[in-house]
Structure 1
Amino acid sequence: MPLVLVVDDEVNILQLLKYNLVKEGFQVIEATNGNDAIKLTGEKTPDLIILDKMLPEMDGFDVLRILKSNRQSASIPVIMLSARDEMLDKVLGLELGADDYITKPFSPRELVARIKAHLRRKRPPVEEEAVREEIRVNCLVIQPEKYEALLDGVRLELTQKEFELLYLLVANPGRVFTRDSILEKIWGYNYDRKSRTVDVHIRYLRQKIERDPANPEYIETVRGVGYRFREVH
């Protein structure tokens, strides 16, 4: 039974989420501030976190930074909640490692559907999945069994979604992936077509693996279509 941590300082939101999640078969633990959220994550290791942006003591973005900088919690999917429907907030949340961003008021059914989609995308136990071989491209090394990537021998700090996106591209050199196909393969469902989720993650990946992100040698943009990993001969 998946364990979901809900972090929100509004009691009515906590009750609404807990009711709908329990009804769908989830276990739920709650926190009303950032410090408790970080503590519970370390103690319970939830399968997914629903994190409100506006929290007392420290805001949701600060909590997200801490969670994603810790190896124990970095791969836990995080869905951000916010009453602000501003693109800047969404982009910042995604850049910090959030896997999804939902604006209040929201549909509980849609939120539950997104939670299930993210949990389907979580990495299965190693013993249950086929062995995926290490991939080397120049100074870039992808180690799928460890969920790690190295550049010039140095481990890259990647979120789960960043790693999955990088692996998808590197494992299929020269193949062009549309934004919609990337959303389906990595996030497990189709976002709003106006979403910048893929573009934000591509930009963040380029900052981490490209020597000059403005002139990428690995991840190419195919104008009007999507992205591909350049074939190296």
Structure 2
Amino acid sequence: MSQPTILLIDDDVEVHQLLRTAINPLVHMDTAQNLKQALTHLRSNHYHLVLVDLNINDENGLDFIRDYSTSGLLNLDHIIILTGSDAINDEVESHGLGVRDYLKKPLNLKVLRAVLDKHLEQVLKFRPNIIVSGPITLDVYMHKATLLESDGSISQLDLTDKEFLILKMMIDSPERIFNRETIFEKLWDQDSDSLSRTVDVHISSLRKKLGALSECIQNKRGQGYFYKQLALKPV
């Protein structure tokens, strides 16, 4: 089993220190004090739990969760929200999104340790998060994709992380048109060069790897890309 990993997104260094004290020494923890740092971590690593403060340097944590859960960078079932607010609406909306837990500050060390241990055990035990679209199966936790061939065999799709996330984002919203700007914003750093070429190159590579199912990712001229579920033709 891989080492348990946690990402803490909070601008309060005291919370960082408290969490380091609370977690098991075998758990690896990364920290981010703003959302830009958080995106850098999320684009490079997979986390068993992501703890997100609702107010990060005056940025809205709920908006961040809502935006990036649709791209695959955030798994709602792995998110624990931290907040110093007593606003009922925030709590109701958070649970409505489907986050794993909602903790109010100030955080008690013993309670925090118990909560993290419980959720890590659950996530590690029930880690598969499977999405099936026709002959394509995605394992969201492992970032693996497989294809059920027309002869009944299963083949592994050798996708990069970005290709996997593009495919997941489209499968999650079939028939929805994603323009290049939306794809780029969700999956790349804002200061990357050649927006259109970057997206087009990755989608071209993804379609080649899909082989006979390459047409499941289609381009609507002047608007963007969309996913359409297809079935493999019998041999």
Structure 2 length normalisation: TM-score? 0.50
Displacement after TM superposition at 1:44 (Å): 1.5
Tell me the residue number matched to 2:12: 10
Tell me the residue number matched to 1:27: 28
Letter in structure 2 aligned against 1:86: A
Structure 1 regions of 5+ residues with no counterpart? 127-131, 135-140, 149-153, 158-233
Displacement after TM superposition at 1:83 (Å): 0.5
Residue 78 of structure 1 pairs with residue 66 of structure 2: no
Please provide the CA RMSD for this pair: 3.1
Displacement after TM superposition at 1:22 (Å): 4.7
Matches within 5 A, 1:158-197: none
Identity %: 23
Structure 2 regions of 5+ residues with no counterpart? 141-169, 174-235
SS in structure 2 opposite 1:120?
Answer: helix
Displacement after TM superposition at 1:118 (Å): 2.1
How many residues were matched structurally? 138
Tell me the residue number matched to 1:95: 96
SS in structure 1 opposite 2:56?
Answer: coil
Letter in structure 2 aligned against 1:50: L
SS in structure 1 opposite 2:81?
Answer: strand
Alignment CA distance shift 1:156-1:85 (3 Å): same
Provide Cα deviations, 1:121-160, integer angstroms capped at 9, x if missing partner: 323459xxxxx9x9xxxxxx9x9x7579xxxxx9666xxx
What is the rounded CA distance, in whole Å, between the counterparts of 2:85 and 2:22 in structure 1?
A: 23
What is the rounded CA distance, in whole Å, between the counterparts of 2:121 and 2:22 in structure 1?
A: 19
Letter in structure 2 aligned against 1:18: R
Provide Cα deviations, 1:109-130, integer angstroms capped at 9, x if missing partner: 222222222223323459xxxx
What is the rounded CA distance, in whole Å, between the counterparts of 1:72 and 1:55 in structure 2?
A: 18
> Bigger radius of gyration, 1 or 2?
2
Structure 1 length normalisation: TM-score? 0.50
Letter in structure 1 aligned against 2:16: L
Provide Cα deviations, 1:45-79, integer angstroms capped at 9, x if missing partner: 11111111110262211221133112243256010
What is the rounded CA distance, in whole Å, between the counterparts of 1:147 and 1:2 in structure 2?
A: 18
Provide Cα deviations, 1:75-127, integer angstroms capped at 9, x if missing partner: 5601000011222111111223321100001212222222222223323459x
What is the rounded CA distance, in whole Å, between the counterparts of 1:62 and 1:119 in structure 2?
A: 25
Displacement after TM superposition at 1:27 (Å): 1.0
